[in-house]
Amino acid sequence: MSVPRTLGELRRSDFSEERLRTRRVKDELRDNLIARLRRHDDSGIFPGIVGYDDTVVPQIVNAVLSRHNFILLGLRGQAKSRILRALTTLLDPQMPYLAGCEIRDNPYAPICRRCREEVARLGDATPIAYLTPDDRYVEKLATPDVTIADLIGDIDPIKAARGGHELSSEFTVHYGLLPRANRGIFAINELPDLAGKIQVGLFNIMQEGDVQIKGYPIRLPLDVAIVFSANPEDYTARGKIITPLKDRIGSEIRTHYPATVDEGIAITAQEAWTSRNGHSMHLPAYIQEVIERIAFAARDDKKIDKRSGVSQRLPISAMENVISNAERRALRNDERLVVPRVSDVYAALPAITGKLELEYEGEMKGADFVGRELIRSAIAKTYDEYFTGANVQQIVQWFDLGGEIQLSDSISAVEALENLKKIQGLIDKLGPLGVSQKESAEQQVSAAEFILEGLHAHKRIGRNEERVFKAGEKKPEPQREKSFDKEEPPYRQRRQFN
Per residue in 481-490, pLDDT tens?
433 333 333 3
DSSP string, 454-489: HHHHTTSEEE-TT-EEEEPPPPPPPPPPPPSSS--P
Please state the rounded mean pLDDT for residues 314-327: 96
Q: What is the pLDDT of residues 95-104, one digit of tens each?
A: 999 999 989 9
Q: Is a pLDDT exceeding 70 seen at residue 167?
A: no
Q: Give the whole-angstrom CA distance, residue 46 versus residue 53.
A: 10
Q: What does the pLDDT read at residue 44?
A: 64
pLDDT band at residue 493, thresholds of 50, 70 and 90? very low
> Which ranges constitute the DSSP H helices of 176-312?
177-180, 196-200, 203-207, 234-237, 243-248, 261-271, 285-300
**Amino acid (one-letter) located at 38:** R
Q: What does the pLDDT read at residue 286?
A: 97
Q: Give the whole-angstrom CA distance, residue 460 versus residue 399.
A: 10
Contacts with 355 (C-beta within 8 Å, 6 or more apart), sequence order: 310, 311, 313, 314, 317
Please state the rounded mean pLDDT for residues 175-180: 88
Task: Report the chain's terminal Cα–Cα distance, integer Å.
Answer: 68
Helix (H) or strand (E) holding 162: helix 157-163
Q: What does the pLDDT read at residue 195?
A: 87
Q: What is the pLDDT of residues 369-423, one digit of tens each?
A: 999 999 999 999 999 999 998 999 999 999 999 989 988 888 999 999 999 999 9
Residue among 72, 90, 79 at smallest CA distance from 48: 79
Q: What does the pLDDT read at residue 234?
A: 53
Q: What is the pLDDT of residues 183-232, one digit of tens each?
A: 999 999 999 988 888 888 888 788 776 777 665 666 788 899 999 999 88
Q: Give the whole-angstrom CA distance, residue 229 versus residue 71.
A: 5
Class of residue 183 by CB neighbours under 10 A (exposed 0-12, middle 13-18, buried 19+): buried
Q: What is the pLDDT of residues 338-351, one digit of tens each?
A: 999 999 999 999 99
> Does 16 or 13 have the greater pLDDT score?
13
Contacts with 84 (C-beta within 8 Å, 6 or more apart), sequence order: 72, 139, 185, 187, 189, 227, 229
Q: How many other C-beta atoms are found inside a 10 Å radius of the C-beta of residue 403? A: 17
- The answer to whether 405 and 395 are in contact (CB under 8 A) is no
Q: Which residues pair with 96 in a beta bridge?
A: 130
Mean pLDDT (the chain) is: 87
Q: Is a pLDDT exceeding 50 seen at residue 425?
A: yes
Q: What does the pLDDT read at residue 174?
A: 80
Judged by average pLDDT, the poorest of 3-12, 43-52, 398-407, 483-492 is 483-492
β-strand pairing of 461-463 with 468-471: antiparallel
Helix (H) or strand (E) holding 224: strand 224-230
Q: What does the pLDDT read at residue 444?
A: 96
Q: Is a pLDDT exceeding 60 seen at residue 496?
A: no
Q: How many other C-beta atoms are found inside a 10 Å radius of the C-beta of residue 37? A: 13
Q: Give the whole-angstrom CA distance, residue 164 versus residue 104.
A: 24
Judged by average pLDDT, the poorest of 285-294, 429-438, 453-462, 470-479 is 470-479
Radius of gyration of the chain (CA): 31
Domains (range + CATH), the chain? 7-254 (3.40.50.300), 261-471 (no CATH)
Q: Give the whole-angstrom CA distance, residue 265 versus residue 257.
A: 12
Helix (H) or strand (E) holding 27: helix 25-38
Percent of the chain topping pLDDT 70: 88
Name the phi and psi angles at 389, rounded to 5.
85, -5
> Crossing angle for the helix pair 261-271 and 313-332, nearest 10 degrees?
60
β-strand pairing of 137-141 with 128-131: unpaired
Please state the rounded mean pLDDT for residues 269-276: 92
Q: How many other C-beta atoms are found inside a 10 Å radius of the C-beta of residue 289? A: 22
Helix (H) or strand (E) holding 155: strand 153-155
Residue among 382, 378, 472, 386 at smallest CA distance from 429: 386
Name the phi and psi angles at 303, rounded to 5.
-85, 0
Q: What does the pLDDT read at residue 435?
A: 93
